[in-house]
Amino acid sequence: MALALTPGRRRATAAVLTAALLVPLAACSGGDDANAPAAKAELTVLAAASLTDVFKTAGAAYEKAHPDTKVTFSFAGSQELVAQVSQGSPADVLVTADTKSMDKVAADTGTPVVIATNRLVIANGEGNPHKVDDLKDLADPKLKVVLAAPEVPAGKYSAQILEKQGVTVKPVSQEANVRAVLSKVELGEADAGLVYETDAASAADKVDAVEIPDDRNAVATYPAATLKDSENAEAAAAFVAWLSSAEGQRILQDAGFQKP
């Protein structure tokens, strides 16, 4: 004769059966997780505007060599990037166009490493219609000259070399980053402007560039550093190290940047 189960025994038996069923399911689930591909490290790199073109190339090359990492760039004037870091914007790497900007957030970064240098040129409209061949030509009041704002690295370098040559320029506008200066010249909204050599090279079909001799020029320095609040510290450090590698340096120098 079958024994009748009390309510308490029925619940206990049901619990045992449920547990027995869940054990193999959990085992299968664990096997799936073990075989699932590892999540990619997603890096956010805050970079000076003058690195826009070359870093897009560098990012693609880095992701190809490091398929476990995705790199996203945010480009702006170095002073804007520093403000973002100071305000706690989430990011992993910072690259500025001068050491002074990087120094302002020293408490938030690892040890910076200089990855490249650059120099200024005079950008003119295609064909140099206004015959701007020297820094002193920028003082012509009839000429529409645009410069980067004084707080922008390119603006600081511009002021430095103009003062050194005793040239006074009254710009029609002062832009938030050097690429905005280039854009004004490209669009014909300005007759001339001071930009980095690499910026002018990126728009060689739209602007002419007049070189400034080294003894009258300024050297722009690009330091790169990891951010201490990065959630991908190891991947961030690997990317910064790669920028100084043979491959990273080849890409930078092919774009016209000079050795650190």
Q: Residue 113's domain is classified under what CATH number?
A: 3.40.190.10
Tell me whether residue 35 is in a domain: no
Residues 6+ apart with CB under 8 A from 260: 114, 115, 116, 117, 221, 244
Tell me whether residue 20 is in a domain: no
User: Containing domain of residue 178, as a range?
Assistant: 118-216
Number of domains in the chain: 2
Q: What are phi and psi of 23, to 5 degrees?
A: -60, -55
Tell me whether residue 81 is in a domain: yes
Residue 221's DSSP bridge partners are 117
**Burial (Cβ within 10 Å: 0-12, 13-18, ≥19) of residue 100:** middle
Can you give the pLDDT of all 260 residues of the chain as single tens digits?
Answer: 444 444 444 444 444 433 443 334 333 344 455 555 567 899 999 999 999 999 999 999 999 999 999 999 999 999 999 999 999 999 999 999 999 999 999 999 999 999 999 999 999 999 999 999 999 999 999 999 999 999 999 999 999 999 999 999 999 999 999 999 999 999 999 999 999 999 999 999 999 999 999 999 999 999 999 999 999 999 999 999 999 999 999 999 999 999 99
Quick one: 207 and 228 in the same domain? no
Tell me whether residue 16 is in a domain: no
Tell me whether residue 128 is in a domain: yes
Question: Cα(93)–Cα(118) distance, rounded to whole angstroms?
Answer: 20
Single-letter code of the amino acid located at 161:
I
Quick one: 45 and 132 in the same domain? no
**Burial (Cβ within 10 Å: 0-12, 13-18, ≥19) of residue 115:** buried
Quick one: 110 and 126 in the same domain? no
What's this model's pTM, rounded to 2 decimal places?
0.84
Question: Cα(66)–Cα(64) distance, rounded to whole angstroms?
Answer: 6
Quick one: 50 and 174 in the same domain? no
Quick one: 62 and 132 in the same domain? no
Predicted local distance difference test score (pLDDT) of residue 130: 95
Tell me whether residue 163 is in a domain: yes
Tell me whether residue 76 is in a domain: yes
Quick one: 133 and 58 in the same domain? no
Tell me whether residue 248 is in a domain: yes
Residues 6+ apart with CB under 8 A from 74: 44, 45, 46, 47, 81, 84, 91
Q: What are phi and psi of 4, to 5 degrees?
A: -80, 135
Quick one: 73 and 103 in the same domain? yes
